[in-house]
């Protein structure tokens, strides 16, 4: 078998594909490798109970009038991902510079920060799936910078989902990008402490919000929405947040939104002292806390924004294979686009194949905890 062969679901098989061998069926055997020349051949394989098979992409027969279009679409997607990834890495370096500058007593370049925040808004509006994927690709040692970028992206996606006008989304994204600047004033042994903080340490940790607001208060003509997001991202609906102990009646919609996206990214991040929580588990926890910590209606909207199975979730399919969710399907939220990566039955990795469940006989049976399988969903989102 060619080393370029890939295993695909029967639902992904197309006329023109070159079938190398059958992977999973109810007893059907392939006499010899060959091309699929007709719809009848496709139907015959399905009727024979074939569930998955190996094809050689290099030997696919594609009508000449289809090839350029398919190549153009793929190139366009690849270029979009590459541009977004490049922007993300540049912005991460920028945030590292900002944190160092603030630690040394300087002030961040707000105009430069707005440029990057607005670029993320552009991406969130034009390529939401790509931007969602970026928030799931992490490095433990870069949490502080990546958290700021991820909250910025999530705030942009959420605001757009709610129909907020573009000019205001830019301001909210800037506030989200800069919301944690004050953490550079918190001693590293507290900021990076493994395990629970003592009461005294937590009091020090809480000062980062005051520091963030104080740093940005020195910037002239900063939009009030930016300061609102920065100053209130740890307040709660029940008044038990910090630093001011405001309750829901004192919090704007933007303040209520930032608390949701900030906590969601923190829960789903892997830190040096804690494992990442699966996106679906994080959303369930946040729904349980709705009404006390969070605005219930906004949490429900955030779940709709992120999808029933958020990008980065590990799911078990009806075929007993494990797959990583790589894109949502707004019209059929229970049938996202996934990458099949592992066989739960044979306990082995599978050649990665992308599958659109909206066009497949396969479906999601359950959500799985990646840690139980030793899988890292993030590695499948950047390829």
pLDDT of amino acid 383? 55
Q: Which residues of the chain have pLDDT under 50?
A: 63-74
* CA atoms of 155 and 17, how far apart (whole Å): 42
Q: Do 27 and 36 touch, CB atoms closer than 8 A?
A: no
pTM: 0.76
- Between helix 67-103 and helix 143-161 the angle, nearest 10°, is 120
pLDDT of amino acid 29? 73
Task: Choose among 149, 78, 97: nearest CA to 119.
Answer: 149
Q: Please count the CA atoms within 13 angstroms of the CA of 361 that sit on its side-chain side.
A: 13
Provide the H-helix boundaries in the chain. Answer: 39-47, 67-103, 110-126, 128-134, 143-161, 166-178, 188-191, 199-217, 224-231, 253-267, 279-288, 296-306, 370-373
Q: 6-59, which class in CATH?
A: alpha beta
pLDDT of amino acid 73? 47
The model's pLDDT over 88-136, given as tens digits with 9 standing for 90+, comes to 888 988 899 988 999 898 988 999 999 999 999 999 998 888 888 888 8
Q: Do 24 and 52 touch, CB atoms closer than 8 A?
A: yes
Phi–psi pair at 350, nearest 5 degrees: -115, 155
Task: Choose among 77, 76, 69, 71: nearest CA to 130.
Answer: 77
Task: Choose among 183, 192, 199, 184: nearest CA to 274.
Answer: 192
To which residue do tokens 């002239």 refer?
220
The model's pLDDT over 246-276, given as tens digits with 9 standing for 90+, comes to 999 999 999 999 999 999 999 998 876 677 8
CATH code 3.90.105 region(s) in the chain: 6-59
pLDDT of amino acid 69? 42
Architecture of domain 77-306: Orthogonal Bundle (1.10)
pLDDT of amino acid 160? 95
pLDDT of amino acid 67? 41
CATH code 1.10.3210.10 region(s) in the chain: 77-306
pLDDT of amino acid 66? 39
- Torsion region of 236: left, alpha or beta (phi above 0 gives left; psi -120 to 50 gives alpha): beta
């Amino acid at each position: 078998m060619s080393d370029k062969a890939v295993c695909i679901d029967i639902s992904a098989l197309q006329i023109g594909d070159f079938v190398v061998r059958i992977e999973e069926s109810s007893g059907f055997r392939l006499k010899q490798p060959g091309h699929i020349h007709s719809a009848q051949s496709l139907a015959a394989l399905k009727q024979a109970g074939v569930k998955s098979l190996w094809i050689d992409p290099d030997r696919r027969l594609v009508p000449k009038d289809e090839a350029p279009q398919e190549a153009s679409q793929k190139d366009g997607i690849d270029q979009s991902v590459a541009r977004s990834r490049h922007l993300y890495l540049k912005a991460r370096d920028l945030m590292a510079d900002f944190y160092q500058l603030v630690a040394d007593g300087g002030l961040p370049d707000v105009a430069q920060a707005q440029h990057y925040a607005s670029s993320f808004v552009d991406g969130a509006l034009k390529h939401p799936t790509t931007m969602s994927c970026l928030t799931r690709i992490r490095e433990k040692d870069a949490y502080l910078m990546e958290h700021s970028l991820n909250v910025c992206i999530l705030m942009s996606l959420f605001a757009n989902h709610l129909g907020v006008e573009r000019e205001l989304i830019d301001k909210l994204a800037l506030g989200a990008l800069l919301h944690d600047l004050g953490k550079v004033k918190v001693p590293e042994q507290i900021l990076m402490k493994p395990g629970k903080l003592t009461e005294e340490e937590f009091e020090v940790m809480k000062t980062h919000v005051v520091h963030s607001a104080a740093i940005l208060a020195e910037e002239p003509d900063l939009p009030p929405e930016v300061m609102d997001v920065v100053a209130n991202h740890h307040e709660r609906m029940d008044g038990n947040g910090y630093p001011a102990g405001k309750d829901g009646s004192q919090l704007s919609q933007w303040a209520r939104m930032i608390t949701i996206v900030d906590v969601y990214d923190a829960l789903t991040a892997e830190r040096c002292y804690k494992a990442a929580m699966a996106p679906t588990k994080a959303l369930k926890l946040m729904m349980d806390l709705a009404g006390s910590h969070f605005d219930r209606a906004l949490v429900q909207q955030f779940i709709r924004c992120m999808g029933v199975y958020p990008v980065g979730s590990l799911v078990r399919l009806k075929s007993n294979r494990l797959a990583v969710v790589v894109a949502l399907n707004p019209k059929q939220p229970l049938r996202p686009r996934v990458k099949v990566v592992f066989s739960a039955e044979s306990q082995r990795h599978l050649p990665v194949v992308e599958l659109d469940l909206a066009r497949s006989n396969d479906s999601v049976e359950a959500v799985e905890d990646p840690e139980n399988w030793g899988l890292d969903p993030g590695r499948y989102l950047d390829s």
